[in-house]
Amino acid sequence: MTDHFAALDQPRRPWIDPSALKDHFHSLTATLHPDIPLTGDATRFAMLNGAYQVLREPASRLRHFLELERSGPSGDRPAVPASIASRFMTIAALRQAFETFMGEQHKASHALQRALLAPQRIDLEKQIAVVLNDLESVAQQAMDDLRAADAGWATDRVAALPRLAELQAQFAYLSKWIAQLQEMRFALEAVR
């Protein structure tokens, strides 16, 4: 298994400062880009880029970190963590309302029909904004929790692993849900 931490000369830790990682990645790849004559190295550039893609996002970094620490993938799909499970049904209902609206919008063949759907669109946009704000707040708290878990990692690695696994699942679901809601918001803006 490739150790992406080692590939980017990073310590194997749950937390990595995103801006420092980005700066380090750019300094490593500045002369390796395949378009740069004489110093370009497409293979090494691709390897470093792959490592950066894994380490820059908390969910993928923690998944990789846990695989390295546990000597392989767990094979289990993480359940929705209890800390965010209550949001699952809210997002599912919002997704269903969005799909229904988009179906109605697609069927609307006249400008007047589309105009009559405007209040429903506005309501959906407001609901999406509220849920997105909530999820982004939860994600920020998870980042703070990750920093704290990183500090705990230094003192008791065995005890820290279950918390890191829970945080990995939380980041995975949060990033997926946030991306879905942003796509819905973009789609609604496109039908204005």
User: What's the pLDDT at 60?
Assistant: 96
71-130 pLDDT tens trace: 766 666 678 888 899 999 999 999 999 999 999 999 999 999 999 999 999 999 999 999
In terms of residues, how long is the chain? 192
- Type and span of the H or E element at 78: none
Which tokens in the block code for residue 50?
Answer: 């792959």
Cβ(39)–Cβ(32) below 8 Å: yes
User: What's the pLDDT at 137?
Assistant: 97
DSSP designation for 31: T
List C-alpha distances in Å: 67 to 14, 48, 64, 159, 171: 12, 19, 5, 16, 16
> What letters, b where the CB count within 10 A reaches 16 and e where it falls short, cover 144-173?
ebbeebeeebeeeeeebbebbbbbbbbbbb
Q: How many CA atoms lie within 13 A of 156 on its CB side?
A: 6
User: Which of these, 63, 73, 33, lies nearest to 164 by C-alpha position?
Assistant: 63
Can you give the residue ranges of every domain in the chain? 4-56, 85-190
Which tokens in the block code for residue 12?
Answer: 């194997």
Average pLDDT of 37-65? 91
131-166 pLDDT tens trace: 999 999 999 999 999 999 999 888 998 889 999 999
User: Which of these, 168, 170, 167, 189, lies nearest to 178 by C-alpha position?
Assistant: 170
Q: Residue 190: CB partners within 8 Å, gap ≥ 6? A: none
Cβ(124)–Cβ(171) below 8 Å: no
Asked if the model's pLDDT at residue 30 lies above 90, the reply is no
